[in-house]
């Protein structure tokens, strides 16, 4: 069974396979496609990044009073890497 998660930006529920796992590390929103990092996690559709930035969804999701940096995440999304390495398939676009 695939666990259901909510995207922090659009709030819609989806299987975790369609969402990117994020962890906040030292004020930096860090992508965690292998889901092996510890700490408070959050889930995001890659397409919802802009929405999340506009809505300040990251600070809310990680309960951070400070603005979190999303530079790492942006870089990751731009690079077009798979968001879910454990179920990586050749369907990747
Ligand atoms: Zn979303």
Q: Which domain CATH number covers 62?
A: 3.30.1230.10
Contact 42, 11 (CB under 8 A): no
Question: Which residues have CB under 8 Å from 32's CB, separation 6+?
Answer: 20, 21, 22, 23, 41
Domain assignment present for 93: no
38 near 65, Cβ under 8 Å? no
What is the whole-number distance in angstroms between the Cα of residue 65 and the centre of ligand 1?
22
List the structure tokens of 53: 């930035």
Q: What pLDDT shows up at residue 88?
A: 45
Mean pLDDT of successive 10-residue stretches along the chain, which has 93 residues = 91 93 95 90 96 95 92 94 66 45
Q: Is residue 71 part of a domain?
A: yes
Report every protein residue that has its C-beta within 5 angstroms of ion ligand 1: 7, 9-10, 45, 48
State the total domains in the chain.
1
Asked if residue 92 is part of any domain, the answer here is: no
Distance 13 CA to ligand 1 centre (A): 8
* Domain contains 37: yes
CA 15 – CA 8 distance, rounded (Å): 14
Q: Is residue 78 part of a domain?
A: yes
In a domain, 64, yes or no: yes
Query: Considering the entire predicted model, what is its pTM?
Result: 0.85
**Segments forming the whole domain that contains residue 82:** 4-87
């Amino acid at each position: 069974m695939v666990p259901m998660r909510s995207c922090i930006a659009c709030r819609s529920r989806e299987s975790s396979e369609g969402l990117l796992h994020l962890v906040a590390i030292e004020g930096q929103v860090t992508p965690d496609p292998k889901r092996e990092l510890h700490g408070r996690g959050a889930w995001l559709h890659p397409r919802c990044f802009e929405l999340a930035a506009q809505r300040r969804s990251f600070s809310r999701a990680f309960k951070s009073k400070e603005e979190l940096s999303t530079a790492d995440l942006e870089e990751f999304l731009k690079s077009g890497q798979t968001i879910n390495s454990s179920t990586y398939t050749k369907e990747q676009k």
